[in-house]
């Protein structure tokens, strides 16, 4: 008598757990935003030359999170997103308004606004890596480790 009761409770517990997971997964998938997964494709990269009209350290309402450079280009203004770590820590971009720069990245429409997701910025002969080739934002620690790795490769030559 105890064996069928135990099997029944175990089966019931399993069904409750699995049935409650399905709606959570469906809601998670339905709520994904294009800003969370922009689909960075290095084959679509462009390089824009322009002058920094403004450095935005904290995104304004309506902008995607993170730092931005507002650029004046020959084709008009461009919002260049540096992501969360672009102006922070080791290897951060050091730029001021009025400086000419080159920004390489992918143009995306996110939240109905066209944004350049910057992978690298060239300022005064110095190149700053902001994202990986896959579009993943590089933290200050990741930039530091990459620099150390490049230094070790150069010493080996």
Q: Classify the C-alpha dihedral 48-40-133-45 as positive or negative.
A: negative
pLDDT band at residue 36 using 50, 70 and 90 as cut-offs:
very low
Determine which helix (DSSP H) or strand (DSSP E) holds 6, and give its type and residue range.
Answer: helix 2-30
pLDDT band at residue 131 using 50, 70 and 90 as cut-offs:
very high
Number of domains the chain is built from: 1
127 assigned to some structural domain = yes
Q: Is residue 107 over pLDDT 90?
A: yes
Mean pLDDT of all residues in the chain? Answer: 80
81 assigned to some structural domain = yes
pLDDT band at residue 112 using 50, 70 and 90 as cut-offs:
confident
Q: Is residue 56 over pLDDT 70?
A: yes
Phi, psi dihedrals of residue 144, rounded to the nearest 5°: -65, -45
Give the N- to C-terminal CA distance of the chain in Å, as an integer. Answer: 76
96 assigned to some structural domain = yes
> Stretch 118-134: mean pLDDT, rounded?
92
Q: What whole-number distance in Å separates Cα of residue 95 and Cα of residue 105?
A: 17
Q: Is residue 23 over pLDDT 50?
A: no
Q: What whole-number distance in Å separates Cα of residue 9 and Cα of residue 30?
A: 33
> Stretch 70-92: mean pLDDT, rounded?
92
Residue range(s) defining the domain that contains residue 116 = 44-156
Place of tokens 């620690």: 141
Which segments of the chain are extended strands (E)?
46-56, 67-73, 76-83, 100-110, 113-123, 126-129
Q: What is the CATH number of the domain that holds 66?
A: 2.40.50.140
């Amino acid at each position: 008598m105890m064996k069928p009761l135990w099997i029944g409770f175990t089966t019931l517990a399993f069904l409750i757990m699995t049935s409650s997971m399905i709606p959570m997964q469906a809601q998670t998938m339905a709520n994904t935003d294009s800003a969370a997964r922009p689909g960075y494709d290095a084959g679509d990269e462009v390089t824009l030359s322009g002058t920094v009209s403004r450095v935005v350290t904290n995104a304004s309402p309506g902008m995607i999170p993170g730092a931005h450079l507002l650029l004046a280009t020959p084709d008009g203004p461009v919002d260049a997103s540096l992501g969360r770590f672009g102006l922070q820590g080791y290897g951060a971009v050091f730029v001021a308004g009025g400086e000419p720069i080159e920004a390489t990245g992918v143009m995306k429409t996110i939240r109905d606004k066209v944004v350049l997701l910057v992978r690298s910025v060239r300022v005064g002969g110095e190149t700053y890596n902001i994202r990986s080739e896959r579009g993943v934002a590089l933290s200050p620690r990741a930039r530091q480790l990459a620099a150390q790795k490049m230094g070790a490769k150069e010493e080996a030559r």
